[in-house]
Structure 1
Amino acid sequence: MLAQPSAAGYARAMTRMMPIAILLASCNGERFIGTQLDSLAGQTHGDWRLIVSDDGSSDDTLGVVRRFAAAHPSRRIEIRQGPRAGATQNFLSMIDLVEPGEALAFCDQDDVWLPHRLSRGVAAITASGPSGRGVLHVTRTTICDEALKVLRPAPLFTRPPAFRNALVQACTPANTMLVDPEGAALLKAGRNGAAEADVISHDWWAYQLIAGAGGRVIRDPAQTVLYRQHRGNVMGRNDTARAILARLGQLGAGDFGDWLRQNLAALNAARDLLTPENAHVLEEFAAALGSPGPLAAARLARLGVYRQTRAGTAALMLAAAAGRLRSGTRDGRDR
């Protein structure tokens, strides 16, 4: 009978054996992408390849990427034409290119990865042991200004990551994600449904699918990415009181209900990938969203969905009670 490896031995072996496909979506990013590429070259985990999908840049973005590739001839670097349908669709289009046995890391063109961005994720995933249903590791970012002057760390969420949270909140930033090979295979299996549903964000969908399938979500309080704030990405902020209030306000807008419905369509297309319990949760969630005002709020509360803060959960319930989560409610009236 063969001896079983120790947990420490398993972790050491898997750390050495985890190749990573880095998926970088680019579009007119010549100002910042060179710095990001240099940070990839400085990663302490060296077993990675890079796929750059460009959405029709009219500046020198592709020139910067080609010069980087020429300077690193031993690296596998693929440049492809993106779908020109927005960043989310661009990222989704690359998931199919991840090879069996590869982990997956999303990469924004204007960030900077700290040297341990990949190695910390690999170590955390391997230390947690095999999951059978995929592992998603995320960290915090360090908020910086356009010149990379450090402003503050991103908020630290403390409520446990779970499917009932993922249904109503995107709180696993894609630019810090590392998805293990099993999780990457899961995302490949569900990718077509997400693309057809035109989900609003690939990170929200990835969190939902991996959590819904019974995978493990590891939230690491460490900061591994310098998140550059500039005029082109200000909508991504969640680190100031004004930004947090704006996000809570979105819960009362009809757009949020539409986003939930797009996510539902993507998850329903991948229903066979969910655990039986979470497939039932999804069914109850859809029924709640289709219910009129107060009944919708009551159903959501009974289901136990939650956001990461009490204020966020309260705002969600108020929006549901006001009928704002139903389809076509931008004017405040149920239709």
Structure 2
Amino acid sequence: MINVLMCTYNGEKYIGQQLDSIMAQTYRDFRLYIRDDGSTDATMRIVNEYAERFPEKVKVVSGASHLGYPDCFWDVLEKCESADYYAFSDQDDVWDEHKLEYAAEKMGDAGLVASDGGAGDGRPLLYIHDYDNCDGELGLISRHCLGDVAVLDEMNILFYTYASGFCMVINNALRDLLLRQNLVGKAMYHDELCIWTAYFHGKILYDDRNLTKYRRHEATYTEYGNGVGTLISNWLRREIFGDEFLLKCRLIRTFLSLKEIRPSEKRVCRSWLLLSGGRMNFARYFKRLCWGHRLRPSAGGEVALRIMFLMGRGAVGK
């Protein structure tokens, strides 16, 4: 059984296409849990129509009117019934009809199917896949290839989110480990936390098939799709002079405080704590600034990161 978990908010324009793509999955042993976060448009009318048409498949989850992201995903992950696997879903993408089938196959091929046909040998497991970046009308912008997970190490997952939540499926062992952390209210992004937890305590499985049409709306496409100048402008606005990097540093420090899922090696914990800022003296500042390991895949992203180290961004009190 796979539980598909969707959070909605004012998504009336595209949600029908995503619901249709989920209902059309070749893998039929699934349930779709939908948690609305206080929509004021026709989103819930559309969701309720699908719940009436597919009462055995679509389950509406009640909750606080507006938790926001990422807490809405932690809430629905906790409130859904147990399953073998859990697939996160955006409200406005379109899935390949074989997505759940391929996820179940890949996880089974990894040797994580129990003798009774259920899933699990106790290891937290994260499945990720490639996807297509598309415009509002699903016209192809680019194909996004994540690349072999063998290139991942303890440092290059720190300041770069390798995969997004909409292309993730987790197993029950990972779900249980995450839920024991009481994550609502801690501002922990579900995609990043799944990557970190699976890397240090389980296994990440990569599928190079493009299984989601990721809809990038006009504002998003404009922000990220207009060349080097736009990227530099965004780094300046969002990270160097904005709050995005500060939030990331706080997120890292929160992760290190979650004893069950933080890295077990003290060396890694010390490195992550140093790079996330914390309380600084001159020696720590210099060591962070001159860190010898590359931390982001793009040269521009790495330069932006080093500028923030130079400015002392992320340090407690800054």
Letter in 1 for 2:177: L
- Note closer, same or farther for the CA distance 1:111–1:292 as it changes in structure 2 (3 Å cut): farther
- Note closer, same or farther for the CA distance 1:65–1:236 as it changes in structure 2 (3 Å cut): farther
Q: Does 1:92 align with 2:82?
A: no
Q: Does 1:166 align with 2:157?
A: yes
Q: Does 1:142 align with 2:132?
A: yes
**Is this contact kept in 1: 2:37–2:64, CA < 8 A?**
yes
CA distance in 1, matches of 2:148, 2:285: 26
- Note closer, same or farther for the CA distance 1:31–1:44 as it changes in structure 2 (3 Å cut): same
- Structure 1 residue 298: Cα displacement: 3.0
Letter in 2 for 1:88: P
- Note closer, same or farther for the CA distance 1:42–1:311 as it changes in structure 2 (3 Å cut): same
Which residue number corresponds to residue 117 of structure 2? none
**Residues 87-166 of structure 1 aligned to structure 2 (within 5 Å):** 87-130=69-112, 132-154=122-144, 156-157=146-147, 160-166=151-157
Deviations 1:96-143 (A, max 9, x none): 124444311111111111112222222222222237431111122211
TM-score for both structures, normalised by structure 2:
0.83
Which residue number corresponds to residue 17 of structure 2? 35
CA distance in 1, matches of 2:84, 2:286: 41
Which residue number corresponds to residue 184 of structure 2? 195
Q: Which of 290, 296, 300 is residue 307 of structure 1 equivalent to?
A: 296
Deviations 1:222-275 (A, max 9, x none): 211111122465598579646644564444345234223331343134223334
Q: Which of 14, 32, 47 is residue 65 of structure 1 equivalent to?
A: 47
- Structure 1 residue 170: Cα displacement: 1.6
- Structure 1 residue 61: Cα displacement: 0.8
**Is this contact kept in 1: 2:128–2:207, CA < 8 A?**
yes
Which residue number corresponds to residue 198 of structure 2? 210
Higher fraction of helix: 1
SS state of the match for residue 92, structure 1? Answer: helix
CA distance in 2, matches of 1:105, 1:238: 28
- Structure 1 residue 179: Cα displacement: 0.7
Ranges in structure 1 where 5+ consecutive residues have no aligned partner: 1-18, 329-334
- Note closer, same or farther for the CA distance 1:258–1:239 as it changes in structure 2 (3 Å cut): same
TM-score for both structures, normalised by structure 1:
0.79
- Note closer, same or farther for the CA distance 1:81–1:276 as it changes in structure 2 (3 Å cut): closer
Ranges in structure 2 where 5+ consecutive residues have no aligned partner: 113-120
**Number of matched residues?**
306
**Is this contact kept in 2: 1:168–1:306, CA < 8 A?**
yes
Q: Does 1:223 align with 2:200?
A: no
Letter in 1 for 2:44: L
Aligned CA-pair RMSD: 2.9
CA distance in 2, matches of 1:127, 1:303: 38
SS state of the match for residue 273, structure 1? Answer: coil
Q: Which moved more, 1:37-46 or 1:128-137?
A: 128-137
Q: Does 1:284 align with 2:271?
A: yes
Deviations 1:136-188 (A, max 9, x none): 11122211111112222125456723442332122211011111221122222
